[in-house]
Amino acid sequence: MTAKEDLTGRLFATGGLMLAILMQALDSTIANVALPHMMGSLSASQDQVTWILTSYIVAAAIMTPFTGWLALKIGRKPMFLFSIAAFVAASILCGMATNLPEMVFFRLLQGFAGAGMMPLSQAAIYDLWSPKAIPRVMSIWSAMIMVGPILGPTLGGFLTENFSWRWVFYINVPVGALAFAMIYTSLPSNEGGRQRPFDLIGFFALVLFTGGIQLMVDRGPTLDWFDAREIWVEAVIALIGLYVFVAQMATADHPFFPRAVLHDRNFITSTMMLFFISILLFSTNALMPSFMQNLLGYTALQSGETSMYRGFGSICAFLIVPWLARVLRPRPTVSLGVLVSGLGLWSMAHFDLSMTATNIKIAGALQGFGMGLMANPLSVLSYATIGAELRTEAAVFSNVVRTMGSSLGIASLQAVLTEQSATAHARLAENIVQSDPVIRWRSPDLFSGAGGGLEALNAEITRQGSMMAYDTVFAWMALASLLLLPLLLILRPARRVEAVIESEPLEA
């Protein structure tokens, strides 16, 4: 095989891998703008419909570790092809769902099927390209991960408005078929049969922890948290799972994740940062469509188009981040990304009901640009000092942590939003009294029950209270983003890492 043919094959294989993870990343948020439409079709309430988002993410978090072990056993390429085929089949079932339980179950299947795509593609890319080529290739790979969830609402809005919410799932059929064909024809096969003993206890402990804490956060607002026995049971299950998993990692001869992965300071620090970044990114993506549609009266398409500017910001960042990382060095580049992203979130904390879409576009572009500046340096630094024999399992561990951040971020911030909305509503309502002369002058028949005045007043108080709640949540997220900066003090790029960051453009 000539060098040109080899380069063409690697480019084609890389394109198939990135197309597959773009499909998987899109599905984490593409349904966001369609949720209000699904509520009617599936007979679901506002708090119940978020299960459509979290069930997918929880399933991915649970299944990701198992797919890493399975890929070592049967080979990475067969595992990847099976994942794509199963993901497309589950997507078809999601589009055919007729009620909420069916949709949640099919989304679980979709999450199980797509769980291994991201870590397996990451490990495959490191094997396909030389160390000097990795920064450029990983920049594009990171763009797929970051831009996919950001552009998901835009594509979802277009499909929902022009076709049906079911097409946010059917669109995966042609995309998945193309990715399957590209990978089948171009990705080199690697041998299986290299698995180590499977830590069944560690796996089930991780499942208990992940499922327990997710159910607790999801159900907490509805059941008034620890006043309900169910929440206590879920909390205890999560704590038991966490304890057993940590004990297994510390004492087992063959723990679920190799302990050597946890000894790399850069990898652990970068993974912790990606956990918090996932909370900020996915939570914002989940909150913004409902904010625009329920409070500002946007259509699904309008909210999707407005959300697209976050993607533009990320694309701009990915174009300049390789150059910026060489000029400023990786840590200052990540620090700049944290500050820009925090600025975007802080501007969101000043949203109001009379603003135009320009405010949302600017805030989204800032946040997207900041996220883009953080993602690529962290991805390169995470794996540059990890041995080739540990890359697959390191990628699996990183993606489990990142996925858990996404899931817990969506569920916890939705719970905070619900609680803050109720608090703000009560605070506003207590100042509405019948004896207020201003109210009696403006609406003399307000308390008479005629004309639906009280209902209209309550609706407006609810709307204003929800706006206050969104501002509060965004302000907390902006302050929380600053907690990423101290982690950079732990991150000390080794000479090998800095050599990779300063490397030349993509080679054959």
Boundaries of domain holding 75: 3-196+258-425+460-501
How many CA atoms within 13 Å lie on the side-chain side of 462? Answer: 9
Q: What is the DSSP string of 275-334?
A: HHHHHHHHHHHHHHHHHHHHTS---HHHHHHHHHHHHHHHHHHHHHHHHHHHHH-HHHHH
Q: Which of 315, 266, 12, 310 is nearest to 139 (CA)?
A: 315
pLDDT bin (cut points 50, 70, 90) of residue 339 is very high
pTM > 0.75: no
User: Same domain, yes or no, for 127 and 10?
Assistant: yes
- pLDDT, residue 360, reads 92
User: Does residue 192 carry a pLDDT above 80?
Assistant: no
Q: pLDDT higher for 339 or 301?
A: 339
User: Same domain, yes or no, for 382 and 465?
Assistant: yes
Final residue of a structural domain among 257, 280, 307: 257
User: Same domain, yes or no, for 267 and 220?
Assistant: no
Residue 135 to residues 140, 233, 305, 381: CA-CA distances in angstroms? 9, 46, 31, 10
- pLDDT, residue 138, reads 73
**Residue with tokens 């694309």, as numbered in its chain:** 315
Q: pLDDT higher for 217 or 334?
A: 334
User: Does residue 508 carry a pLDDT above 50?
Assistant: no
User: Kind and range of the H or E element at 508?
Assistant: none
- pLDDT, residue 505, reads 38
Least confident of 4-18, 432-446, 487-501: 487-501
User: Same domain, yes or no, for 88 and 163?
Assistant: yes
User: What gap in Å lies between CA 149 and CA 375, rounded to an integer?
Assistant: 13
- pLDDT, residue 501, reads 42
User: Mean pLDDT throughout 13-39?
Assistant: 79
User: Same domain, yes or no, for 150 and 241?
Assistant: no
- pLDDT, residue 506, reads 36
pLDDT bin (cut points 50, 70, 90) of residue 445 is low
* In a domain? residue 444: no
* In a domain? residue 52: yes
Q: Which of 373, 9, 2, 422 is nearest to 188 (CA)?
A: 9
% of residues, the chain, pLDDT over 70: 83
Provide the residue count of the chain: 508
- pLDDT, residue 200, reads 83
- pLDDT, residue 500, reads 43
Express each pLDDT in 52-82 by its tens digit. Answer: 777 887 787 778 777 777 777 777 888 889 9
* In a domain? residue 413: yes
Helices 300-328 & 357-383, crossing angle to 10 degrees? 40
Tokens, residue 295: 């409070």
User: What gap in Å lies between CA 293 and CA 83, rounded to an integer?
Assistant: 34
User: Same domain, yes or no, for 306 and 382?
Assistant: yes
- pLDDT, residue 257, reads 76
Q: pLDDT higher for 380 or 86?
A: 86
Q: Which of 200, 183, 210, 169 is nearest to 59 (CA)?
A: 210
Q: What is the DSSP string of 133-200?
A: THHHHHHHHHHHHHHHHHHHHHHHHHHHHHT-TTHHHHTHHHHHHHHHHHHHHHSPP-----PPPP-H
Tokens, residue 268: 């652990």
- pLDDT, residue 84, reads 93
* CATH number for 471: 1.20.1250.20
Residue type at position 401: V
* In a domain? residue 449: no
- pLDDT, residue 437, reads 66
* In a domain? residue 394: yes
User: Does residue 299 carry a pLDDT above 50?
Assistant: yes
User: Same domain, yes or no, for 345 and 485?
Assistant: yes
> Quick one: 297 exposed, middle or buried, by C-beta within 10 A (0-12, 13-18, 19+)?
exposed
User: Does residue 396 carry a pLDDT above 50?
Assistant: yes
- pLDDT, residue 178, reads 93
Q: Which of 185, 271, 198 is nearest to 10 (CA)?
A: 185
Least confident of 143-152, 164-173, 228-237: 143-152
- pLDDT, residue 348, reads 92
User: Mean pLDDT throughout 265-283?
Assistant: 79
* In a domain? residue 453: no
- pLDDT, residue 240, reads 94
User: Same domain, yes or no, for 394 and 353?
Assistant: yes
Residue 429 to residues 51, 351, 386, 423, 439: CA-CA distances in angstroms? 31, 21, 57, 10, 13
User: Does residue 87 carry a pLDDT above 90?
Assistant: yes
* In a domain? residue 120: yes
pLDDT bin (cut points 50, 70, 90) of residue 276 is confident
Q: What is the mean pLDDT of the chain?
A: 79
User: Same domain, yes or no, for 126 and 253?
Assistant: no
Count of CB atoms situated within 10 Å of the CB of 204: 15
Residue 324 to residues 298, 316, 329, 374: CA-CA distances in angstroms? 37, 12, 7, 11
Q: Which of 127-141, 199-213, 233-247 has the highest mean pLDDT?
A: 233-247
DSSP 366: H
Tokens, residue 172: 């995966």
- pLDDT, residue 442, reads 55
Going by C-beta distance under 8 Å and a sequence separation of 6 or more, which residues neighbour residue 503?
Answer: 131, 132, 133, 134, 135
How many CA atoms within 13 Å lie on the side-chain side of 108? Answer: 9
Please say whether the beta carbons of 104 and 97 come within 8 A.
Answer: no
* In a domain? residue 497: yes
Domain count, the chain: 2
pLDDT bin (cut points 50, 70, 90) of residue 446 is low
Q: What is the dihedral of CA 21, 121, 64, 77, to 10 degrees?
A: 110
User: Does residue 504 carry a pLDDT above 60?
Assistant: no
Final residue of a structural domain among 210, 226, 257: 257
Least confident of 225-234, 340-349, 388-397: 388-397
User: Same domain, yes or no, for 7 and 62?
Assistant: yes
User: Same domain, yes or no, for 333 and 247?
Assistant: no
Tokens, residue 406: 């996404």
User: Same domain, yes or no, for 23 and 75?
Assistant: yes
Q: pLDDT higher for 215 or 350?
A: 350
pLDDT bin (cut points 50, 70, 90) of residue 46 is low
Q: Which of 350, 347, 307 is nearest to 468 (CA)?
A: 350
User: What gap in Å lies between CA 74 and CA 70, rounded to an integer?
Assistant: 6
User: What gap in Å lies between CA 349 and CA 351, rounded to an integer?
Assistant: 6
pLDDT bin (cut points 50, 70, 90) of residue 436 is low
